Amino acid sequence: MSALKTSKSESVDAQGQPDGWKPMAGFVRDVGSQGRTQLVVSAPNDFLLDIHLQLVGELQAPLGFLYRQIVDRRDPGPVGGPARDFVALELTHTIVRETLIKYSDLFHHDARCEIYVRGALGEQIVLDQDGMLFCQPADPVFEDTLLASGFIADISATIADRDYVKHWFHHRNDALEDELIANLGLVEVANRG
């Protein structure tokens, strides 16, 4: 289980100090950048792992897993440099569930990465760099899961709407990232943006 308490990102004022804004447990229907319907999900930090596990549990196996390294904390390179993608295919729900739990400090508390879990029917759950979840497409099964977990079908603002956001990068997750890539057998592939 997770030992870190920070969110992947935090709303701050112009001076970089926390402004008190916290994400609420809610979702909204949206159309993604590629024209597909999706649910945009906002979750408080202490519930992010749990709802992530529940949503991934609704995907049809076998599962594909993509770890996108947005920032290499040890060698950041140029600002806005390309991300690195690492993939594993044909995974079971048990393996993905155990991976999400074991590496929660990296996935749910560190802004260096995004996680994509794809089901056999092309449906997917994305955890982005800010700590927001995206369910693609906007299937009723995802809505039912969210509603049953106390999420409301309306959010007025998400972390993406905030003027200033601080992202957290934890040095202790460097070794965890290496372990994830080795233990899950992730293979680096060309980034498709």
Q: How far apart are CA 13 and CA 16, in angstroms?
A: 5
Q: How far apart are CA 74 and CA 119, in angstroms?
A: 32
What pLDDT digit, counting tens, does each position of 51-64 carry?
A: 999 999 999 999 99
- Using pLDDT thresholds of 50, 70 and 90, give the confidence band for residue 185: very high
Q: How far apart are CA 113 and CA 128, in angstroms?
A: 7
pLDDT value, residue 193: 60
More reliable by pLDDT, 120 or 73: 120
What pLDDT digit, counting tens, does each position of 31-58 carry?
A: 877 788 999 999 998 899 999 999 999 9
What pLDDT digit, counting tens, does each position of 117-136 carry?
A: 999 999 999 999 999 999 99
